[in-house]
Amino acid sequence: MNDANLDDSLPDIDKKSKEEVVLTKTEKAIKEFKSISLIIILVLIFRSVFFEPFRIPSGSMIPTLMIGDFILVNKFSYGFKVPFSDLSIGDTNLEPKYLFGESSPIRGDVIVFKYPKDPSINYIKRVIGLPGDTIEIRSKIVYINGEPLKVTETPGKEIMADMDDKFLDYNLKFYQSETGTYKHIIQQDQDNYYKTDFEKRTIPEGSYFVMGDNRDFSYDSRFWGFVPHKNIKGRALFVWFSMIIPFGEHEFKIRPWRIGTSIH
């Protein structure tokens, strides 16, 4: 009898042990899932509120930014937002809700914003005109409130050495420009007179006039209008990596010397 009872108890112990092992594995999987989910949520909140990386796909901001630059954008430059309050995905376009510290860009800031014609697309340009300014462009000279922005021709040899191949065949000239407190380089194609003028207009309250530093190769406020403050995502800080991914006419290229370049 005693032997029989002992034999009968062994399967029960083994079954219980297996259940405990399964339960332990399930609990461990749930715990890991929760941990990973929390990390993902925290990373997304960090990107939404503090800093977000972007890649430059076009040449509209050359020579300040090159095709293939990876940049970091300060999302709280103009105030702390409620996480995900400025989200734009497909047909969903939310307006940012500021917790505190809401402020405005200054002239010359390089900003990332939601393209007004399609908020699901992010653009990067330089703020040229502020709310209430009158802006006019004549023969490629920008006038703010009747005064021309200061530009001085500057050599472009070093810039051309780092230039994206698609722009090497153009008749480019380079100018040191003063936009607000910023001093930066712009480039112009001397053979391009497609969009040289902009009729005088007053910038509406809460909106900004933006342009690319690659003046003749930038699709900006001259073509589609002003940027509402609610569309602004943040101010570009610096280049943290630079690499051209090979596609079309582009060849693979890494520019380690651009790492750490401040955007001003």
The pLDDT of residue 218: 95
My answer on whether 9 and 82 are in the same domain is no
My answer on whether 199 and 164 are in the same domain is yes
- Is 229 a member of any domain? yes
The pLDDT of residue 7: 42
- Is 155 a member of any domain? yes
My answer on whether 178 and 218 are in the same domain is yes
Q: Which residues pair with 42 in a beta bridge?
A: none
Give Rg (Cα) of the chain.
27
H-type alpha helices, 56-147: none
Domain boundary pick from 33, 49, 65: 49
My answer on whether 124 and 249 are in the same domain is yes
Q: Would you name the residues annotated as active-site residues?
A: 60, 125
The pLDDT of residue 60: 96
For residues 256 and 162, the answer to whether their CB atoms sit within 8 Å is no
Residue 22, both tokens = 């399964």
My answer on whether 86 and 101 are in the same domain is yes
- Is 240 a member of any domain? yes
- Is 243 a member of any domain? yes
Q: What is the pLDDT along the chain (264 residues), one digit of tens a residue?
A: 444 334 444 455 565 565 555 568 787 788 778 788 888 877 777 676 688 999 999 999 999 999 999 999 999 999 989 998 888 888 888 889 999 889 999 999 999 999 999 999 999 999 999 999 999 999 999 999 999 999 999 999 889 988 877 888 899 999 999 999 999 999 999 988 766 789 999 999 999 999 999 999 999 999 999 999 999 999 999 999 999 877 666 678 899 999 999 999
My answer on whether 120 and 244 are in the same domain is yes
The pLDDT of residue 1: 41
My answer on whether 72 and 42 are in the same domain is no
My answer on whether 40 and 57 are in the same domain is no
My answer on whether 37 and 153 are in the same domain is no
pTM of the complete model: 0.84
**What residues have CB less than 8 Å from 146, skipping those under 6 apart?**
134
- Is 143 a member of any domain? yes
CATH code (residue 152): 2.10.109.10
- Is 264 a member of any domain? no
Which residue in this structure is represented by tokens 């409620």?
82
Between the CA atoms of 158, 159, 160 and 163, what dihedral angle is there, to the nearest 10 degrees?
130
The pLDDT of residue 15: 57
Read off the pLDDT of residues 164-176 as tens digits, 9 standing for 90 and up.
Answer: 778 888 999 999 9
Q: Residue 32 is part of which domain span?
A: 1-49
CA 188 and chain centroid, separation: 23
- Is 65 a member of any domain? yes
- Is 203 a member of any domain? yes
My answer on whether 97 and 172 are in the same domain is yes
My answer on whether 18 and 66 are in the same domain is no
Which residue in this structure is represented by tokens 């509406």?
204
Residues 151-157: contacts with CB under 8 Å, at least 24 apart: 151/175, 151/176, 151/177, 151/178, 151/186, 152/176, 154/185, 156/63, 156/187
**What residues have CB less than 8 Å from 240, skipping those under 6 apart?**
53, 70, 71, 72, 259, 260
What is the number of domains present in the chain? 2
Q: Which residues pair with 81 in a beta bridge?
A: 98
The pLDDT of residue 247: 65
My answer on whether 106 and 35 are in the same domain is no
For residues 232 and 105, the answer to whether their CB atoms sit within 8 Å is yes
